[in-house]
Structure 1
Amino acid sequence: MAGGRGFLLQGFCKVRFQVDDTVGRSVMYANGGSMPGGNSAFAHYGTYSEVDGVVTSEITSHRHNDDPNYQSLLGSDIATFDVRGSAIGNIYHFEGGSPQMPGAVFRSVMTPIADEIVAPRDAVGEGGHELGIGFAGTCDNSGALLEATALAGKRSLRFTAVLKLMQLA
Structure 2
Amino acid sequence: MEVHVKSTDVAAILAMYRRLLADSHDEARIADFMVFCWQTLDQGYVATTDLRGDLFDTSAGQLRELLQSVEKTCRPWSAPAFWKRYIEWADYAAMFSIEDQREFARHDPGYIEPAFSVFSFTGGQQMRAEAMTVLAGCAASSTMRASYVRSVVESRLRVEAFAARSR
Computing the radius of gyration from Cα coordinates, the structure with the larger value is: 1
Q: Which has a greater percent of strand? A: 1
- Fold in common (TM above 0.5): no
Which bracket does the TM-score occupy, shorter chain normalised? Answer: under 0.3
TM-score by length of 1: 0.25
